[in-house]
Structure 1
C-alpha cells in the first residue's frame, strides 16, 4: 500500500481515542511464555535503557525480557549480560535466561515469541522502529520524543492506532502524582479561569570542535546514522565507548532538536493535561533562541517560545523560568515540578533535594478535594507498569500515541519558529502553517535510503 493511501484511509481517526477489545487475544503472549509472561525485546541498550526503561520494567513478574538489540556489539553484549544476570540472581538458576541478541531490530521483530518491545534508541531512531513494530503487531514502549519531524509523527500515530497495538510514550511525568493533581485542580477551576502557562526548560551549552576518528569495529555506524545524512564519525557525536554517560548526539541537530524535544515533550504533554488541549495544539507560535556559532554541538541554547491557543491560553516556555510548569489563573497559581526525581544519573538538570514538587499561591488550593462529579484524570503509579497492565487489558495507556504526537508537535514547531524568526500561524487540524511555506518545508526532513519512515512498505 502506498504511504499516501494509508494516510488517507486513516485520516478519519487522526484525533481521538481508539477503543481496544476488552478480552486479551491469545496472540498477545508468546505461546511458550512461562506463566503467560509478556515477552519483551529491548531495542537499544544505552543509559536510558539501563538506568530507566529496563530497570523500571524488569522488576514486574508479568514481564520477561527475552532479547536485546543494539548496533554497538559492546553494548549488545552488556545488554544480554544485564538480562541474564538479573534473572539468574532472581531465580537462583544461572541457566534461567539466555537472552537472544540482534544487531538489526528488524530481525528481532520477526521473532514470533516476542510480544512487545521497548525502544530506547537515539531520537532519530524512534518513529521508524515503532512503526515497523506496530506492523509486526508488537506492543510498544517508546522513549520520547515520539518523532524527529511532524510528518513522521503523524504517520506513527495513524499506523499505531490502525494496527490496534498498545503504545506507551516514555513521558513518565504523567505517572507522577503531582502532575495529575495539578492538572485536576486546574481543570476543576481551583485557580479560576486559566489564562497563562509558564514552562521552565533549560537550553544546552555549546561544545568544542571534535575531529574525525576511526569508526570502532564494534559499531555499525551506518545504521546508527540511520535516515540522517552521512557524516564523519567522532565519539563525541555518538556515545561513549567505555561508559554509559550522557551521549553527544543529544546536542546535535542532525539527530534531534535539543532540549525543546529532550525535555519539552515531558512538560508540554503534562501542561496539555491541565490546559485540556491534549488532542490539539496552539494556533500560533513565535520564538527567539541563541545557537552556537561553532563547535560540534549545534542545538539551541537560551530561548523563549510563546504559543497561543484557541481557548485563550498563552503558553510561555523558557530557561528563565524554574524547571516545571506554572499554571496562572484569575484566582491564583499552581506550580508543579519533578521535585527530587531523576530518570538517570546523567539527567541534564541536577537533582534538587529541596525542590517543591507542588506549590500554589494559597496552600488551601492544594488540599482541595476533587468531588465525585468533578473531573478525575487518568491515574497511574508507574509508566512502565501501566504499559504492562494495558498490554493485558487492551485499554489505552496513560500516554497514548496521539497525545504523544501532539506534545511532540509543539516541541517541533517551536524549534521551527526559532529558525524562521517570525510569528507563525499553525492549523492544529491540518498540521500545517498558514503563513509560511518555509516553515511548512521544515515539517519533514529528507531521509537517507534505505533508512527512514519514507521507505517502510505499508
Structure 2
C-alpha cells in the first residue's frame, strides 16, 4: 500500500463509529422512502432485461418510491416480459419497451438507469447514459477492459453523474467494521491475504452457427465485440469468451476482490502475475483453475479460483439473512482470509460476516472477535437513490469499482500471456514495458459501437 493511500485509509476509518464510516452511507432503514407520491418518485429505466436486470427492477419498484418508464433489451420477448411484470407492480402502468437503449436515454422524465447487460456493454451504455444526463446503477464488473473503465470514470466526473457499481458489500455495516478493525491495528501487522472464488461450473461444447431467434437483435447484442454470426454458445455462455468477458474472476470473483480491497485499504498493485488453465475440455476460453498474485509495498494478496469444485459452496441465503450464523469457512466458496500477526480474519461477502481466530486450543479454534450482517442489497439500492437526491458520491462509486476490476483485467492479461509478470504504473494504470499486454488494455471496437477517446 502506498503511504498516501494508507494515510487516507486510516483517516477514513479510525474516527468511524460502529456501522458508520466517513465516505460511506449506511441507513438505519434501507426502505426509508416508501409509497412516495407520484411527483416525488425517482424515475428509472432498465438497460438489459435478463435475470439480474429483472431482479433489480422488481426490488427497486417494490420500494414504492421508484417508477420505471422504459425497458431496453435486444431480446424483444425478454423486455416485453419485464414490462408486463412491472405493469403489475405499477398499478397497471407499463413502461415503454424498446430494443434501442438510445430511445430510453432520450426520455427526459428518466432520472437514472440500471445497466444490467452482459459485460461487454456495461461501459458503452454507462457512458452514453452519463452524456444524456442520467445517473447510473451499473452491474459488476463495470468494464470489459482496462481502458474503457477509466473512460467511465471520466464520463461520471465530466457530466457530474452518480454512478454506483453493483458491488453491494461496500454498503454493509459489518464490512465497514472489518475495515475499521484492521485500521485500528486489532489484527496486528498484515502482510498477506487470500481471496477465494470456488464453485462448480462445467465446460460446454461449441454449437454451430445458426439464425438468431426472430425477436432477438443479434447484431445489437454482439455490440462492440468482433463481427460474428449468431451462435447459441456465445449467447448463453458469454462469460467464458474473451470477446465478451474474462471468466469467473471478473464475473463472480470481482465481489471478493472489491471487498478485500475495501477492507485492506489498498488500490493499485505494483505487479501482477497469474497462471492456471482450462483443464476440462470444451469451448470455454477462460480458466477453470487460476491463481493471481498481487504485490504491494508491504503486502501480498492472492486470488485463487477453481470451477471444478461443487463441494465448495457459496454462502447460503439462510446464512445471509441470519443474524448469528457464520459460514463453514474451510468450504466457503467466496471467503477472504486476512493474515495478521495477532489473528486470522475470515470474511464473507453478501452477509457472511467475519470472525477473527486467535491461537487455537488443542482441538478447536478460538474466536477472538466477530460481527455478523445481512445481505446488503437493500442498503446498496437505498444508497444509490439517496445519492440521486443529494448528488453525493455513492458507496461503490465508479472509480472504486474501476480500480477493483483492474485487478481482474491485469490478471487476465498475465494469464493470457502465459503467466508473464506485469509491472503496473500506478499513475497511468498501464502495464510498463510490455507491448503484448498493452494490446489487451483496450479492445478494438466494432463500428458503430465505439467508445470515443473524448467522451
Normalising by the smaller structure, the TM-score range is 0.7 to 0.9
| CA distance in 2 between partners of 1:114 and 1:189 (Å) | 46
The answer to whether the aligner puts 1:86 opposite 2:89 as a matched pair is yes
Unaligned runs of 5+ residues in structure 1 are 1-14, 20-32, 89-93, 239-246, 342-355, 369-378
Deviation at 1:294, TM superposition (A): 5.5
**Mapped contact 1:116–1:138 kept (Cα < 8 A):** yes
Which residue number in structure 1 is paired with residue 253 of structure 2? Answer: 264
The answer to whether the aligner puts 1:69 opposite 2:72 as a matched pair is yes
| CA distance in 2 between partners of 1:160 and 1:325 (Å) | 30
Change beyond 3 A, Cα 1:149–1:85: same
2:342 corresponds, among 331, 336, 339, to: 331
Which residue number in structure 2 is paired with residue 30 of structure 1? Answer: none
List structure 1 runs of 4+ shifted beyond 4 angstroms. none
Which residue number in structure 2 is paired with residue 434 of structure 1? Answer: 432
Deviations 1:242-284 (A, max 9, x none): xxxxx4212222100011110232112111112212xx31000
The answer to whether the aligner puts 1:37 opposite 2:41 as a matched pair is yes
**Mapped contact 2:255–2:349 kept (Cα < 8 A):** no
**Mapped contact 2:198–2:305 kept (Cα < 8 A):** yes
| CA distance in 2 between partners of 1:109 and 1:251 (Å) | 30
Which residue number in structure 2 is paired with residue 443 of structure 1? Answer: 441
| CA distance in 1 between partners of 2:211 and 2:279 (Å) | 26
| CA distance in 1 between partners of 2:206 and 2:124 (Å) | 30
Which residue number in structure 1 is paired with residue 309 of structure 2? Answer: none
| CA distance in 1 between partners of 2:219 and 2:285 (Å) | 21
| CA distance in 2 between partners of 1:155 and 1:129 (Å) | 12
| CA distance in 2 between partners of 1:451 and 1:270 (Å) | 32
Deviation at 1:173, TM superposition (A): 2.0
3-state SS, counterpart of residue 141 of structure 2: coil
**Mapped contact 1:210–1:295 kept (Cα < 8 A):** no
Which residue number in structure 2 is paired with residue 122 of structure 1? Answer: 118
Unaligned runs of 5+ residues in structure 2 are 1-7, 13-22, 24-36, 307-329, 359-366
Aligned length: 385
The answer to whether the aligner puts 1:316 opposite 2:320 as a matched pair is no
TM-score (norm 2): 0.80
Which residue number in structure 1 is paired with residue 265 of structure 2? Answer: 276
3-state SS, counterpart of residue 144 of structure 1: coil
| CA distance in 2 between partners of 1:248 and 1:147 (Å) | 18
Change beyond 3 A, Cα 1:444–1:292: farther
Provide the alpha-carbon RMSD of the alignment: 2.4
1:6-405 map, 5 Å:
34-51=38-55, 53-88=56-91, 94=92, 97-202=93-198, 204-238=201-235, 247-277=236-266, 280-291=267-278, 295-310=282-297, 312-319=298-305, 322=332, 323-338=334-349, 357-362=353-358, 363-366=367-370, 382-405=379-402
3-state SS, counterpart of residue 201 of structure 1: strand
Deviation at 1:168, TM superposition (A): 0.5
Deviation at 1:73, TM superposition (A): 0.5
Which residue number in structure 1 is paired with residue 364 of structure 2? Answer: none
TM-score (norm 1): 0.79
**Mapped contact 1:36–1:62 kept (Cα < 8 A):** yes
**Relative contact order higher in (CA < 8 Å, ≥ 6 apart):** 1
| CA distance in 2 between partners of 1:61 and 1:227 (Å) | 36
Deviation at 1:457, TM superposition (A): 6.9
Deviation at 1:207, TM superposition (A): 1.4
3-state SS, counterpart of residue 265 of structure 1: helix
3-state SS, counterpart of residue 365 of structure 1: strand
Deviations 1:73-99 (A, max 9, x none): 1001111101101123xxxxx3xx131
**Mapped contact 1:191–1:331 kept (Cα < 8 A):** yes
